[in-house]
Structures are given as structure tokens and as C-alpha cells.
Amino acid sequence: MKRFALAGNPNSGKTTLFNSLTGSTARVGNWAGVTVEKRTGSYRKLNEKIEIVDLPGIYSLSPYTSEEVISRNYILDEKPDCVINIVDATNLERNLYLTTQLLEIDVPLVVALNMSDVVRKNGDKIDKNELEKKLGVPVVEISALKEENLDELMVKSLEISSKKRVGHSIIEEGPLSHLINDVRIAFKGKNVENPLFHSVKLVELDELEKESHPDLVEMVDEFKKTFKDETFGDDFEALIADARYQYISKNYSGVLVKANKEKKEEGEVVLTKSDKIDRVLTHRIWAIPIFIVIMFLIFHFTFAEGLFFIKTNITNPGVINFFTGMGYEGMLEEAGGVAEDVVLEGIPSLGVFLQSWMGFATGSLIDLFRSFMPEGAWYTSLVCDGILTGLDMVLSFIPQILMLFLFIAILEDSGYMARIAFILDRAFRKFGLSGKAFIPMLTGFGCSVPAIMATRTLEDEKEKRRTIRLMTCFSCGAKAPIWTLLAGVGTWAFGFGDVFVFTIYIGGIALAIIYALLLKVFSKDTYVSPFIMELPAYHIPQPKNVLAHLWEKLKHYVIKAATIIAASTIVIWFLKSFSFTFQFLLLPEVNDAGETEYILHIEDSMLAGIGRVFNYLFYPLGALPGGWTHGEDGWKYSVSAITGLIAKEDVVATMAELGLDETSIELNAAGVYSFAVFNLLTIPCFAAIGAAHGEQKGKEFWITLGTWFGLSYGTALLFYWIGELYIVSLVGGILVTLALIGGVVACGFIVTSRHKKSNAMNA
């Protein structure tokens, strides 16, 4: 089996090409020793099976980031049979910078000109044959998005993979060419593979090369003493980079033939479709309101009980069953058996509709098991009340979670999600907050673990620590079942599920900004890291890519449900079903009708005893009636919050085992939001703890854990008592809220003025 590596710039379409080539064979893991994601898959359309390795997106082979080191080491050490260099044909000259470095390695190389369809659509043309002649390697025009010429690309790659190739450099002339050649001869004398690549890098005084070949550094240092460039002095790295760009501009600019268009007025800017769209979506004033509206629509289509708030008053049992997943009987029971009182007041959103039917399916499965298992037996309780009930609560939310990920995947694949970081950077840079930190935070909407890993791209250590500690403000996918469950309670303010979930997600972003401001106020740090980001062109998301993304999320979710959550539910079942003396608490009792019922005396269980201890810790977060720590059920919420530290899906699984569902949760608005805010901001899960430990050691790691718990506890406490104040006195609640907003605004002014002074001093 041969191995082909995909190398290219970020946003060059490399991952789209990978998905198109590998399909369902793609596997995701981590590179050995590091936390950067590794993607591999198989291409099976040729006679020989080919393994495809998707290298991280990079701009060069210099060791500035872990992604660049991974890509470089893989090509040099693992020796793939062929490297496919994906080049964005719409940004040819910039993308060819990496190509000039790959050409210096003794590896078979094919250049894939991606987005060639866009070039043609613009009326432009790339002279492929001329480009191929200048590069000295095969060039294939493709469209990864539309899957054009992919078979030709793979056939060509397989063909050249069997041929030996010797690297060559574009720096054949110039003041450093003689030095590079001397160093290459020295590398050859040491029998070092890829001597040309290593010689160029050593002349650049590349850190990895200096560590590996300190004996040859002296050659470069001696040459430096006799050399001085008018522009770059003795900075050989800058000199070589400039030589690359000049060579590219001189030799490859003519490869792209622009279409003959009407002569424009001098200075007139020709806008692309993406530019025109960005004039609206990244508008200085309207960008953030548009983002908020888009997010609200996503949550509305996913969580709304009544689509577009339309009142329907449906009374037909068959229609109600269709829209509610056979929920008519339950509604009839709630109405006291009076059929005239059963009314469906709104058509549910697609997410709620699918979730209802999923709940019916999983509930029917539990009923099926109960029908043939003996009532009252411990193993019946384990299977039905433990494993299946816990998994039912987790799995029944799959439709809504997948819908949420579907919308997010569409935003990412279309190019809009990349604009969000740009919008946030522009909005908050004046407060000393960088949009660069928002990129890993936005990744946190999917999972906190890769989001924490992504903070490696932040050069400033203080900004990295701050970003990791505020990561929990961005609700990961594992927390979605909690919001879905609470959205159906309807006892809190407004009573609309989509509004509740919307406030959680948008509120999380707002809290991250507020806490970042507070940290800036109490810190003398005025540095804001520069933020340069390439915005990809807008395009229609490829269904194959979106479905592959959803499949990965579904697979990850189900595997977690079948392992971690299943194991957790067994432990919870054991603790809730047995007393400290190991007495089984599911006991037979005779009801008023003379029938024998099995009642679980959970109040005498080990779990209840443990939960009451934890409830003392959380008691201030919901102490009054309607709060989540109040009354006989208070310990159940506390236990659920604690099990969520293992995996956030365990929160709803534990609540289900303890009998807490949409019909039995009796929290008021303050109680619901306090419980939600605590679970949003607290320690995400064991996996996130491991990721944080990988990025921070010693004292900093423990401060991060303390910050996560402290933020969640303090914010939940604040939300609860302000919420209770609103219930007692609306005017009092408004006054306190305005005072808090005033405090945040004052912090904003302090940070802004400090940031302006710092900029003025550095100007």
C-alpha cells in the first residue's frame, strides 16, 4: 500500500479534497506526542490501495507552529510515496510560496490546482503546461468541491510515486546561492537525506537545523561576517523569503491569464461576489446584529415548540400524535382525562418534531424490555431503570444535536464562521481583546478538547491562559442535551425553548467578553496580539463534507453513550438502588386498589446520602422554593452536576435515572438559569481536564481548574439571586441589572483608555 500526503495552505480546499478522496474511510486521531488532529483515509479506485494522510494546513515548512513541524517531519522522516500540494488557483502566487519549499525536498510531488472551476467562472485561465514546465513537476487542475479531475490527479500521483525525484531550488541565483551550495555539499558529505532542503534551512538559521547540525552553523556565521544586504542586513531568513516571493512574482505571474474585460476607471476596485456579500455580513454596524439573528434562527428551527410563534389550536388526536411523537395520551392525562382540553397550540420546529419521535422510539424500546423481564428483579431495574433510561435521555436528543451541528457545519463550510472571528476582533480590539483568541473559543461550540488544543496558535502566554480559562463560556455539543431538556420545562421567563437556548449560547459569548474585560482591568497587560486571518471565498457547502462532519459527530456521541455514559449510569443505578447496608431498595407495596407495586425508596439510598452532602456545597445557588438545591429533590440536581464532570451528557442521564424530566422538573426561572449557568461554565469533563493539563503545568493548571469552578459557582449565584429579586421586585431587579451593566461599561472604558494610551506610547 502506498501513502500519499496532502499539503497546502489553510483554506486551500485541502480538507475538502481529503473528504472527497477518502469518503467513509476517514479516521481521526492525534499525531504521536502532540495534540494536533491527524486525519487518514483510503482511496480505493485504483488497482493499488492508497493511504491518504491529511497534513495540517500550513503556510511554510519553518518551525513556527506545531502544525508546520508535524508536516515537515512527516515528509522528511516518514517519506510518503508522493506529496500532493494543493494550491488555491484563485490565489496562485501566495500559495506557491509553500510549493517552492516542497520542491527542495527529494520527494515525488504533484501540484493540484484547486478551485480551477472558480478561475474559469471568472473568465480567467491558467496556463497549466507553462506552470508545469516552470515547476518541473506535474500539475493537475481540479475542483475538490465539485470533485472534478480527482481520478486524473490520483492516476498521475500514482504514476510519479514510483519515480525517484531530486529536489531543486528556485534560489539558483543571488548572493546566498554560493553559501547554500557549499552547505549542501557538507550535508552530502555527512550522508544526510534531502541535503538541499536542509542546506536552505540551515542558511536561514532554522532552529531545528541548528539543533541537529551545530557543527555546520559555523559556516553560516562566518559568511554572515562578510555579508550585508541594504534592505535585510544579515537576516538570511528574510532575504530568502524575499527571494522566493520575487521569483514567484517574476516567473509565475504570467501563468494566470486574466480575461479581457471592459476597461475600468483608474483606481476602480473590482469586487468579487464574496466581497459584495461581506459588505453586508461584515458591515461595521450590522455585522453583529446579523450574526445574532442567524444564531437565533438556528436555535428556533432546532428547539422551538411553536414554529414562528404561530398559534394553531389543533385538537385532532391523530394530528397531535403526528406532531408530538404519539404524545396525545400524555397530554390527555395532563388534562385530567378531558379530551376537550387537549390542544396543540403550535406546530413544533423540525428539531422538536424529530426529538419527539426519537423519544417515542427509545421509550418503546424500554417498554419492550419491561414486557418480558420480571417486575421487581434487580436485573430488570438495572437494564430498564438504569442503562436504558439513562441512554434514552441521551439518545433521544440526537436529532436536535445533529440539527445544531448541521447548521454549524453549513456556516463553517460556507466560509461564514471564519468571518465571526474577524467580526469579533474588530468589535473588541478597542477593549484590548484579540479576535485571534476567539477562534479556539468558537471551536469550543463543537468540543472543548480541540478548542483548548487550538490555543497553541496564540503566541502570547497570558492570552493563551486567559483563553483556556474562558473556554467554558462556549457551550460544547455535549452540553446540548442539558439545554434541550431544560428548554422543555417552560416554567422560566418567556417559556419559549428556542429563546432559552439562544440566551445560553449568546449569553456565553457575552460572559466570555465580560470576564475577559474584568481580567484586563485587574491586569497591567495592555498587549493585544496581532490578528491576521485569511477569509475564504463564500461557496455553497458540499453535502458530502457536511454529512461526513455529521457522521463524525454522531459516531463520537454514540460511542461515548455506549461506553462512558453507560458505565456511569450503571454506577448511578447501583448507588440509587442500594442503601449503605447494601439493601435493595426496590420494594413491593400494596396500593389503595389492592395491587402490588414496586416502589424505589431512593431517599434511603447511598446516592441520596452522598447527594445531600454535595447539596450543602451548592445550597446557595438555589436555596429558595423553585431553586435547584431546595427541597427533597435538591440533592438530585447536585448529584447530576457532579456526574457531569465525567462527561456533560451524564447530567441528563443522571437526571433521568433520578426521575427528573420535562414533566417532573419544578424549577422557576431563577432556578433553571442558575442550574444552566453552573453547568455551562464549570469544569467541562475529564477529557477537557486532560487537555488543559497538556497545555499547562503545575500552578497554572490548578488555577485553571479553580477558575472554571469559581466562575461557574459565582455566576450561578449571581444569576439565581438576581432572578429571585426579579420575582420579588421587578423594579429592584432592573436597578441591580442596570448597576451591573454600568460596572461592565466602566470596565470597558478603563480598558479602552489604557489600550489607547499604550498604542500612543508605542506609536
Domains of the chain by range and CATH?
Answer: 2-161 (3.40.50.300), 177-247 (1.10.287)
Question: What pLDDT score does 263 carry?
Answer: 44
Percent of the chain with pLDDT over 90: 17
Report the alpha-carbon distance of residue 4 to residue 21 in Å, rounded.
11
Question: What pLDDT score does 715 carry?
Answer: 94
Position of cell 503556510? 59
Percent of the chain with pLDDT over 70: 89
Residue 690 half-sphere exposure toward CB, CA atoms < 13 A: 9
Q: For 124-167, how does the pLDDT look when each residue is reduced to its tens digit (9 = 90+)?
A: 888 888 889 889 999 999 988 888 899 999 999 999 998 899 98
Q: For 342-362, how does the pLDDT look when each residue is reduced to its tens digit (9 = 90+)?
A: 888 888 888 889 988 988 998
Report the alpha-carbon distance of residue 62 to residue 500 in Å, rounded.
47
The least confident of 37-46, 254-263, 359-368, 406-415 is: 254-263
**Contact of 360 with 321, CB cutoff 8 Å:** no
210 or 591: which carries more pLDDT confidence?
Answer: 210
Nearest to 119 by CA among 99, 97, 95: 95
Report the alpha-carbon distance of residue 704 to residue 684 in Å, rounded.
12
CA distances from 260 to 21, 125, 512 (A): 35, 11, 50
Nearest to 69 by CA among 79, 77, 61, 57: 61
Report the alpha-carbon distance of residue 537 to residue 525 in Å, rounded.
35
10 Å CB burial of residue 97 (0-12, 13-18, 19+) is: middle
pLDDT above 70 (res 526): no
Residue 200 half-sphere exposure toward CB, CA atoms < 13 A: 23
Report the alpha-carbon distance of residue 567 to residue 214 in Å, rounded.
53
* pLDDT band, very low/low/confident/very high, at 35 (cuts 50, 70, 90): very low
Nearest to 143 by CA among 20, 266, 308: 20
- Average pLDDT on 650-661 reads 84
Grid coordinates belonging to 509: 459569548
Render 149-192 in DSSP notation, one character per residue. SHHHHHHHHHHHHTS------S--SSTTHHHHHHHHHHHHHTT-
* pLDDT band, very low/low/confident/very high, at 545 (cuts 50, 70, 90): confident
Report the alpha-carbon distance of residue 441 to residue 337 in Å, rounded.
49
- E strands in 527-681: 586-590, 596-600
Report the alpha-carbon distance of residue 237 to residue 616 in Å, rounded.
61
Beta bridge partners of 344: 314
Strand duo 125-126 + 37-43: pairing = unpaired
Strand duo 256-257 + 125-126: pairing = antiparallel
Q: Structure pTM?
A: 0.69
613 torsion bin: left (phi>0), alpha (psi -120 to 50), beta (else): alpha
**Contact of 49 with 96, CB cutoff 8 Å:** no
pLDDT above 90 (res 525): no
Question: What pLDDT score does 698 carry?
Answer: 80
501's enclosing H/E stretch is helix 497-521
Report the alpha-carbon distance of residue 445 to residue 689 in Å, rounded.
17
10 Å CB burial of residue 443 (0-12, 13-18, 19+) is: buried
Q: For 354-409, how does the pLDDT look when each residue is reduced to its tens digit (9 = 90+)?
A: 988 988 998 899 889 988 888 888 888 888 888 888 788 778 878 887 888 888 88
